[in-house]
Chains A and B, each alone.
Chain A
């Protein structure tokens, strides 16, 4: 099998060029999908028979919560690739993921709290999903803290990669333990997101939003990756040609 394509992925100028070309291919569909899904979710979808109009925050909350978890997976996979094949670009991908992931986690926490106020009557309930999300946020903070705490770039890359992998092993255990902890202390919450019978005009905008957010993440990741590569390779000669 020919592995040249894989090895070329390790070359910063190559990735820098590819990322630049690909960005609009992700950004435009993402923008269109998000606008369409917003219209579908905020205008076309009928109000929920229990929660009225309040449920519409779901269209921001659920995609960000999904991305918060997914980005950690992407980050850990990139970190593992960087650690195993000593690929600097993979470490740059992991580094660019962390900030976005932390932001999406924060967005899902804040929208969850805003949603909680009309539904539970309080901004914060120790709901298992919210709690697990909060712990995920702290994991992101720890990852970024470790990265910032080590001056040497190569060492920061590898140490944070080990941390990301340890975290990815732990996330399912943490989620499970928090769910178990919650089921003892609190009756199941009134809100059940996993109703199987979501009508199509409610579900379709949600799925579009999920896809739109994911594409948006891909686009923003590419932009951040380019910035990260520029920062890392600022002394390399190819940069001068690119930025001429």
Chain B
């Protein structure tokens, strides 16, 4: 009898499909960050000014801070249920490298929040007076930036596993670490709106994403191991 061996890669694939399937069956969790992002962005015309010219000037900041907070909001549920029903413990003891499983969970989080948020940003951009020509730039910068946000967030979510009411602490831990993404992302968006070349900040966002992909799953795996002790 031949036993089919599960490799780290296929195990990660299973975790990814499981997370995606769970999310599709509970669409409210998918929609909430998006609705939050929309509400935050639409509060600015009401709280500041309806003049599109002025809104255009603050649009990069609004879009990026909104995306950052929405991505953060979705982080709380990243490990919480898996920790309470014992799934995370099974991940740790199943013999597959936890790093690969954490990378899969982070990828799932990005596919379920980062990617939809990115796709929604142009729509909100229009409401903030952003010209249509800037949309590809905004899409690309958010696409790269949200990857890093999900990776940083996974580390934070792992660290706050054992903390009661960890939501506020989670933001306190992850927001300062997300500063570089915010700086470069908002700058890329600003350049895109003014019609200039945004390759400089895009390269930097890409570098941050690569660094995050290399190191964050390791830190997240260490954090989850500690959280489950």
Q: Does B57 contact A (CB under 8 A)?
A: no
B183–A180 CB distance below 8 A: yes
The contact string, 1 if C-beta is below 8 Å from chain A, for chain B 101-124, is 000000000000000000000000
| Chain B residue at minimal CB-CB distance from A185 | B187
| Residues in A114-170 with C-beta less than 8 Å from chain B | 135, 138-139, 141-142, 145-146, 149-150, 152, 154-155, 158-159, 162-163, 165-167, 169-170
B162–A138 CB distance below 8 A: no
Q: Which of A142, A155, A167, A177 contacts B229 (CB 8 A)?
A: A155
B173–A177 CB distance below 8 A: no
Interface residues on B, range: 20 to 34
Q: Does B37 contact A (CB under 8 A)?
A: no
Q: Does A15 contact B (CB under 8 A)?
A: no
B183–A178 CB distance below 8 A: yes
Q: Does A184 contact B (CB under 8 A)?
A: yes
B169–A142 CB distance below 8 A: yes
The contact string, 1 if C-beta is below 8 Å from chain B, for chain A 170-195, is 10011011101100100000000000
B229–A154 CB distance below 8 A: yes
A181–B163 CB distance below 8 A: no
How distant is B204 from chain A, measured CB to nearest CB, in Å? 8
Known: A150-B162, A158-B226. A142 touches B176 (CB 8 A): yes
Q: Does B62 contact A (CB under 8 A)?
A: no
Residues of chain B within 8 A of A169, CB atoms compared: 215
The contact string, 1 if C-beta is below 8 Å from chain A, for chain B 205-229, is 0001001000100010011001101
Known: A138-B175, A146-B173, A181-B187. A162 touches B162 (CB 8 A): no
| Residues in B136-189 with C-beta less than 8 Å from chain A | 155, 159-160, 162-164, 166, 169, 172-173, 175-177, 179-180, 183-184, 187
Residues of chain A within 8 A of B183, CB atoms compared: 177-178, 180-181
A139–B176 CB distance below 8 A: yes
Q: Which of B163, B180, B187, B219 contacts A162 (CB 8 A)?
A: B219
The contact string, 1 if C-beta is below 8 Å from chain B, for chain A 3-40, is 00000000000000000000000000000000000000
How distant is A112 from chain B, measured CB to nearest CB, in Å? 18
Residues of chain B within 8 A of A163, CB atoms compared: 159, 173
Known: A146-B159, A146-B160, A184-B187. A159 touches B172 (CB 8 A): no
Q: How distant is the Cα of A150 from the Cα of B166 in the complex, in angstroms?
A: 10
Residues of chain B within 8 A of A154, CB atoms compared: 229
Known: A150-B163, A162-B219, A163-B159. A174 touches B179 (CB 8 A): yes
Residues of chain B within 8 A of A176, CB atoms compared: 180
Q: How distant is the Cα of A124 from the Cα of B180 in the complex, in angstroms?
A: 21
Q: How distant is the Cα of A141 from the Cα of B174 in the complex, in angstroms?
A: 12
Q: How distant is the Cα of A239 from the Cα of B203 in the complex, in angstroms?
A: 57
Residues of chain B within 8 A of A173, CB atoms compared: 180, 208, 211
Q: Which of B164, B180, B187, B223 contacts A174 (CB 8 A)?
A: B180
A159–B179 CB distance below 8 A: no
Q: How distant is the Cα of A14 from the Cα of B206 in the complex, in angstroms?
A: 49
8 contacts between A and B (CB under 8 A): A146-B169, A146-B173, A149-B164, A149-B166, A159-B226, A162-B155, A173-B208, A176-B180
Write the residues of chain A forming the contact surface with B, with a CB cutoff of 8 angstroms. Answer: 135, 138-139, 141-142, 145-146, 149-150, 152, 154-155, 158-159, 162-163, 165-167, 169-170, 173-174, 176-178, 180-181, 184
User: Given A163-B159, A167-B177, 15 other A-B contacts at CB below 8 A?
Assistant: A135-B179, A138-B175, A142-B172, A142-B173, A145-B172, A149-B164, A149-B166, A155-B227, A158-B229, A159-B162, A162-B159, A162-B226, A166-B219, A178-B183, A181-B187
